[in-house]
Structure 1
Amino acid sequence: MPLVDSPTRWPVTATKTPFTGNKTSVRTDEVQLPDGSRVHRDYQVHPGSVAVLALDERERAVVIEQYRHPVRHKLWEIPAGLLDVPGENPLHAAQRELYEEAHVKAENWRVLTDVYTTPGGSDEAVRVFLARELSEAEGERYEVFAEEADMRIARVPVAELARGVLDGRLHNTCLALGVLAYQAAVSGEGLEALRPADAPWPARPFPS
């Protein structure tokens, strides 16, 4: 039988939120273990995210260089963003992020993978999409500010990005997941075997 992650809820006997930020918060739960003992667990409460591996006809991915203050690095990333609205359709959010960050639209969408980024310290769930058949978006470019104002945009072959991940030159989670999942799909059952763009996502349910 294939391995599958299973939803499980250990009892929470007490909870508090010592910090609430603009988009996320920190929660402390008192959790009862199966042996009856109790432990405290601190974690970030996160609305969830989407990311897009957008490929042109030459198998070049749209990538963005952005400053990330917590790690004190400018990282090359694929377009990504938060699920700002509770219950938001993740495909719509991904299309919005691709437009806002790269001023690009895509006609062909599939789900590459769904992941919990740091399950030991956050409940963040990310859906990574594959977007193909790209074209320039219509209208004016989205106005950027703060860290986004310093972004650089490039198109880089997927194979080159994969080498960068394995060589330790590229470190962004969604970029690494996206390019390696893409290569696994191509060398496996093929892109048409990927889930459709509106596939259910139990971690962040949305109306069908």
Structure 2
Amino acid sequence: MTIRDTAEEWRITATATPFTGKKTSVRTDDVIMPDGTSARRDYQVHPGSVAVLALDDLGRVLVIRQYRHPVRHKLWEIPAGLLDVPGENPLHAAQRELFEEAHVKAGDWRVLTDVFTTPGGCDEAVRIFLARDLAEAEGERFAVSEEEADMELARVPLDELVRGVLAGELHNNCLVVGVLSLVAAQHGDGLDALRPAEAPWPARPFEA
């Protein structure tokens, strides 16, 4: 038996958008259940995101720390950002985020994993890349603002991040998934066996 997720869409009889924000919105759908009854589902509509687990030659992961108002925490995270342009190539978006948040470029890119962050209440899909062969980026640093204005940057040994995840000290979704996926890949077929950076992503189809 093959264990894999499959695309499916139940019939929608009515839909509304009671709230539209700057980047996301809230949608209400009336959906027909398998037993023929109707149920109402409210969820956040999200453009999708990319995240980058950047691993240097010393086995350290590049992490950033910034304030996240909804959870009232300063979180250690990996560089990440929204897919702001419909159909945008996620690799290009990831390269942009790594440059803007860390002023770093990478010579080797792979797909580490793809996730739905909170599928019970949001349609956000995130592609997490593994970036290696790191180097300082050329040109001027990107001007930051808002939460990013006091952002901290560090390179932390992978083992220390694993310890923090399992101890309940690190909570960011992309960091947790990325770090544990990296360890699994290292102990599996190896990092070179990961999917290529341009691998298809059905959740957020993109232009080459």
| TM-score between the two structures when normalised by the length of structure 1 | 0.99
Find the counterpart in structure 1 of residue 170 from structure 2.
170
| Gap regions ≥5 residues in structure 2 | none
Give the whole-Å Cα distance in 1 for the aligned partners of 2:60 and 2:34.
49
Give the whole-Å Cα distance in 1 for the aligned partners of 2:183 and 2:2.
21
> Displacement, 1:34?
1.4
Give the AA of the match of 2:65. E
Find the counterpart in structure 1 of residue 107 from structure 2.
107
Show CA shifts across 1:113-166 (max 9, x none). 000000000000000000000000001100000010010000001111011000
Show CA shifts across 1:39-85 (max 9, x none). 00000000000000001100111100010000000000000000000
Find the counterpart in structure 2 of residue 65 from structure 1.
65
Find the counterpart in structure 1 of residue 195 from structure 2.
195
Give the secondary structure class of the aligned counterpart of 1:62.
strand
Find the counterpart in structure 1 of residue 54 from structure 2.
54
RMSD: 0.5
> Displacement, 1:193?
1.1
Show CA shifts across 1:69-108 (max 9, x none). 0000000000000000000000000000000000000000
Find the counterpart in structure 2 of residue 141 from structure 1.
141
Give the whole-Å Cα distance in 2 for the aligned partners of 1:25 and 1:78.
25
Give the whole-Å Cα distance in 2 for the aligned partners of 1:169 and 1:2.
34
| TM-score between the two structures when normalised by the length of structure 2 | 0.99
Give the AA of the match of 1:3. I
Give the whole-Å Cα distance in 2 for the aligned partners of 1:36 and 1:136.
58
Give the whole-Å Cα distance in 1 for the aligned partners of 2:2 and 2:40.
32
Find the counterpart in structure 2 of residue 121 from structure 1.
121
Give the whole-Å Cα distance in 1 for the aligned partners of 2:137 and 2:161.
24
Find the counterpart in structure 2 of residue 154 from structure 1.
154
Give the AA of the match of 2:16. K
Find the counterpart in structure 2 of residue 205 from structure 1.
205
Figure out how many residues of one structure are paired with residues of the other and give that number: 208
Give the secondary structure class of the aligned counterpart of 1:57.
coil
The 10-residue stretch of structure 1 (1-10 or 36-45) with the greater mean CA deviation from structure 2: 1-10
Percent of aligned pairs sharing the same letter = 73
